């Protein structure tokens, strides 16, 4: 057990020296938090799965409301969040909006999350 100030200083230096881990950069943390926030909502996860599992790889907003039991404005809000997060692409066709998964989006989320906890 250290008893002198010098012994305490030596222990502090060994414990908290330059070898201490560094957090991820703020910009990277904000980007990852945005992605995770976008998929942290159960309704958005369900909507993403509907689009990803659709027969032709895209889904019309008109086909997404009934399966999740939400109103069209609420579904539109969730879809906008997913588009802004870079997970879905939106295409307007006349009156209806169609959504498709951005290529590599699911891999991007998984990699970003898992890589954030790997030692550097």
Task: Look up residue 76 and give its two tokens.
Answer: 């539109």
According to DSSP, the β-strands at 58-60 and 96-101 are: antiparallel
Running DSSP on this structure, what letter comes out for residue 23? P
Secondary-structure class of domain 27-115 per CATH: mainly alpha
Q: Are 58 and 98 in contact (CB under 8 A)?
A: yes
**Domain spans of the chain, in order of start:** 27-115
pLDDT tens for the chain, residues 1 to 120: 555 555 555 555 555 556 667 787 898 888 888 888 998 899 999 999 999 999 998 999 999 999 999 999 999 999 999 999 999 999 999 999 999 999 988 787 777 767 767 776
The pLDDT of residue 105 is 80
3-state secondary structure 53-109: HCCCCEEEHHHCHHHHCCCHHHHHHHHHHHHHCCCEEEEEECCEEEEEECCCHHHHH
Distance, CA of 10 to CA of 58 (rounded, Å):
62
Sheet containing 96-101: order of strands: 58-60, 96-101, 88-93
């Amino acid at each position: 057990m250290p008893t002198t100030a010098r012994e305490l200083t030596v222990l502090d230096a060994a414990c908290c020296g330059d070898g201490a881990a560094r957090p991820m950069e703020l910009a990277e943390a904000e980007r990852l938090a945005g992605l995770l926030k976008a998929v942290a909502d159960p309704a958005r996860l369900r909507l993403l799965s509907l689009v990803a599992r659709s027969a032709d790889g895209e889904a019309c907003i008109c086909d997404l409301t009934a399966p999740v039991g939400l109103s069209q404005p609420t579904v539109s809000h969730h879809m906008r969040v997913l588009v802004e997060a870079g997970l879905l692409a939106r295409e307007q066709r006349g009156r209806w909006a169609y959504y498709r998964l951005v290529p590599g989006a699911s891999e991007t989320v998984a990699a970003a999350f898992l890589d954030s906890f790997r030692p550097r």
